[in-house]
Structure 1
Amino acid sequence: MATVTSAGAARGLAAAGAAASARARRAPQQQARRLSSRVCSSRRDSNVDALSAEEEEVLDDVLALENGVPAAAQQPRAAEADSLEVAGLASLEGHVPISGAKNSALAVMAGAVLCDGEVLLRRIPGLTDIESMSAVMRSVGCRVGPGSDANTLVVDARVLTSCEPSEQSVKRLRASFFMVGSLLARMGEARVPLPGGCNIGLRPVDLHIRGMEALGAKVSIEHGRVNAVAPAGGLRGAKIYLDYPSVGATETILMAAVGATGETVIANVAQEPEVVDLANFLNAMGARIEGAGTNSIHVTGTGLGGLRNPAEFSIIPDRIEAGTFLVAGAITGSSLSLAPVVPAHLTAAIAKLQEMGCQVIIEGPERVRIVPTAALKPADITTLPYPGFPTDLQSQFTSLLAHAHGTSVVRETVFEKRMGTVGELQRMGANIKLIGCDTAVVEGGWVSGTPLLQGTHVSASDLRSGAALVLAGLAAEGVTTVHGLKHMDRGYCDFEAKLSAIGADVRRISTGDGQW
């Protein structure tokens, strides 16, 4: 039966509905204000409890909505207990699209804070690390949201409200510490918590601090927070030497130097492609940087206050993702093509694959193909800063070397806890002996005509370890269940979908409490 109401009653119902809707909208905003107030109070008064992780997530979500990010566009958080079932003895075929480089995207996002305008970033991978960095940026007042095209991100840092990013957000992501350099250059002050990230060893920030001090900043560490303040006359250009070519220190000091007055020369810098990408992005916004990609970078600073040129910028392809899928082809005896890639960024990985007997064919300026060999040869690997063999591919190649015919030696010289994959590969039957914490002797080969590795339950200890165990599972006999997908979700975009598209039988599952 239809219900008829008078015009006055209808207006009353509409008003009541609008009021209820307004209250519903205000509720999360009011909650966010209460949480924000608690953040400020806890920073001033140690007797006030800091936010829990759950409260930080609520605050991040509300800030995301206020910054114009629709709920559907927000990156879903990885379930702590998710795992991946991988069917072994896989035969793969086809083409793998390579996403934008995570490590470049995160540094470029931090660099966008330097721009007093709107920035459009292209080829942004859909990763939990990207959303974590977005949350850090929103916590200082940036508006961050998806662009109109796929894999794009719009950053508007014209109105910064704080030089102090959310502690809980920073702890989720080590790369968020880059903000100390860009905030110092833009605002003359930065108060950034010490970072989190994968547990792959000590990654101190002393080089970052010494670089900022050389530019004239007063830097202190108090209660787990790095406080950097420019002097009254602003940052001044300086000659800076890095004891080690750290990527993070190079990028942090590079961004800080943009906000200095005069010339800065940074010697013994990291030469990674991601550093070059950041320098190119900063130049697109009006910075004056020369020498990125060599061992010495020259910066002509513009002074505090930021860069004035809004920019559109495309992130380089992810060389680590590309290297991972090259190993996927080699370990399963499958031919795969990859694009877009920059072949020059893969020189070390390609050289080792060729040494092991594989062919890597450059089919175009941004396309490569791996043609596997029936009998993999052993090879020795030592990780080094770029252009040496990348530490981020060491775990994947260790899985591959377990299938080579002979003895290989893997030496990790960058991170002292990067051998966590070895114990899990041993669970699968790999014959690997650890010498100390940085060297693995891999006795590869086949046993009685059957695959050396056997499927079982294994756990990823970090991002690259997870990928290495999935690769091992593809070549093992039986089903391998890789636990700890939260690590891989940080660094591999649509990993399962890309594997499935080339013929892998993989399935994401939730194991409840994560126990097995």
Structure 2
Amino acid sequence: MDKILIRGGKVLKGEIPISGAKNAALPLMIAALLTEEPLTLSNVPRLADVALLQRILRELGAHTTLLGRKAGESPFAGDVVRIHAEEITNITAPYELVSRMRASFWVIGPLLARCGQARVSLPGGCAIGTRPVDLYLKALSAMGAEIDIEQGYVVAKAPEKGLQGARIVFPKVSVGATHVTMMAAALARGETVIENAAREPEVADLARCLKAMGAKIEGEGTSTIHIEGVTALHGADHAVLPDRIETGTYAMAIAMTGGEGTLTHTRPDFLDAFLEVMEEAGVTITLDETRMHVKSNGGLKPVSVETQPYPGFPTDLQAQIMALMTMADGVSVIRETIFENRFMHVQELARLGADISLSGDTAQVRGVNELIGAPVMATDLRASVSLVIAGLAARGTTELNRVYHLDRGFEALEHKLAAVGADIERVRG
């Protein structure tokens, strides 16, 4: 099994290109199931989750073609992927694949809308909480679907005339449920209104792609989305938006080492809440439309952070800000409101010398003068990269194990960091 070795103490300086967003690419790929014509996506990141989803789509009958980078593009430019689901030959998404990645459960929406039936395994993915799918199923039921749970599979059937538009009010914000409902509603009869919808940029990106495919959608990016169903969608070309989580992660990596660098091919306007926290921490950040310049001012100040749905501080940056605050001058308070089990990185950061105490959904991080390298283990995707951030500043060598978590969401991380001065390498196992 691979591991990553980080010899800390190097100051990061230079440019880091940002990849396409995993959290946008996955629902966009799934949306290809809604049409018999090809959907071509550019700026697709090279990630384990993307490769796994291609396997799942092929299992359902779609043809996926990897067209690679365009001539002359950066080595870190995303791939072009064409997905052609001319005929759905299988309505079952099997346990052995869906159990490895939660987002693959989202195929239930397009399968039900286009084929009238779906059999999808209950999902897996990172062990960061229960994350039940009840909101997804209640939304589909409101649109007329009959749903049963049989031996670990959700078996769903649409009425004879197909799904019917409905008014759906989510009791809490759910990105996945918004994705699934929006895709199913695109082919439903009549109007669907989603209230308390997720406002994340990735949700709006999916809506833009669906509209390019012929869907009638209004209100994406707000808490109320209107979808007027159409009888069929067509193919389209769509570019995946930049990864705001990767952007925030590398900004914190630069700040952790006392460095200075520029993140390119990004969208800083997606990160307002994060930028406010970084300014509070004493990090200077300057922006333009597609670039973010990060400069350390020699010391970190403690912050108070509470994760919230967009446009609040992202839960996917919580582990990283905790790593950054392990060396701040004072006590930081970090509250996790989205997932009930997303503090598994705490015990691993403690192995490096971090001083962190937990009380329910809140962590107190007392800054220390020094972290010391040690063997650590990734427990989920974002936890793994928090250990990288800590290891960059630790004295000695940090050995990160279970890096397959890292490969699910960060493209060529060790290469990008090495290019700006990190002493980091992957050891093949």
The partner residue of 2:221 within 293, 305, 308 is 293
**Which residue is equivalent to 2:67?**
147
CA distance, structure 1, for counterparts of residue 183 and residue 3 of structure 2: 38
Matches within 5 A, 1:41-440: 81-147=1-67, 149-150=69-70, 151-303=79-231, 306-307=232-233, 309-362=234-287, 364-436=288-360, 438-440=361-363
Which consecutive unaligned segments of at least 5 residues does structure 1 have?
Answer: 1-80, 447-451, 512-516
SS of residue in 2 equivalent to 1:376: coil
SS of residue in 2 equivalent to 1:147: strand
CA distance, structure 2, for counterparts of residue 88 and residue 235 of structure 1: 55
CA distance, structure 1, for counterparts of residue 54 and residue 23 of structure 2: 14
Is 2:6–2:391's contact at 8 Å kept on the other side of the alignment?
yes
Q: After superposing the two structures, state which structure 1 stretch, 502-511 or 105-114, moved more.
A: 502-511
CA distance, structure 2, for counterparts of residue 181 and residue 174 of structure 1: 14
Normalized per residue, the structure richer in helix is 1
CA distance, structure 1, for counterparts of residue 407 and residue 69 of structure 2: 22
Per the TM alignment, residue 386 of structure 1 is displaced from its structure 2 partner at its CA by 0.6
In the alignment, structure 1 residue 501 sits paired with structure 2 residue 426:
no
- Structure 1 runs of 4+ aligned residues shifted over 4 Å read none
Is 1:142–1:155's contact at 8 Å kept on the other side of the alignment?
yes
Which consecutive unaligned segments of at least 5 residues does structure 2 have?
Answer: 71-78
Query: What is the TM-score when the length of structure 1 is the normalising length?
Result: 0.81
**Which residue is equivalent to 1:459?**
377
Is 2:216–2:228's contact at 8 Å kept on the other side of the alignment?
yes
Query: Larger radius of gyration, structure 1 or 2?
Result: 1
CA distance, structure 1, for counterparts of residue 349 and residue 121 of structure 2: 35
CA distance, structure 1, for counterparts of residue 161 and residue 119 of structure 2: 19
Is 2:371–2:390's contact at 8 Å kept on the other side of the alignment?
yes
Query: What is the TM-score when the length of structure 2 is the normalising length?
Result: 0.97
Normalized per residue, the structure richer in strand is 2
SS of residue in 2 equivalent to 1:216: coil
Per the TM alignment, residue 342 of structure 1 is displaced from its structure 2 partner at its CA by 1.0
CA distance, structure 2, for counterparts of residue 445 and residue 205 of structure 1: 40
What root-mean-square deviation, in Å, do the aligned CA atoms of Structure 1 and Structure 2 show? Answer: 1.0
Is 1:382–1:389's contact at 8 Å kept on the other side of the alignment?
yes
Letter in 1 for 2:46: G
Question: After superposition, what is the alpha-carbon deviation per residue over 1:97-136, rounded to whole angstroms, capped at 9, x for unaligned?
Answer: 1000001000100111112201110000001100100011
Aligned residues: 421
CA distance, structure 1, for counterparts of residue 299 and residue 403 of structure 2: 31
Is 2:258–2:299's contact at 8 Å kept on the other side of the alignment?
no
Letter in 2 for 1:116: E
Is 1:453–1:477's contact at 8 Å kept on the other side of the alignment?
yes
CA distance, structure 2, for counterparts of residue 467 and residue 439 of structure 1: 20
CA distance, structure 2, for counterparts of residue 194 and residue 323 of structure 1: 31
Per the TM alignment, residue 277 of structure 1 is displaced from its structure 2 partner at its CA by 0.5
Per the TM alignment, residue 149 of structure 1 is displaced from its structure 2 partner at its CA by 3.5
SS of residue in 1 equivalent to 2:190: strand
Structure number with greater CO (CA < 8 Å, separation at least 6) is 2
Per the TM alignment, residue 166 of structure 1 is displaced from its structure 2 partner at its CA by 2.9
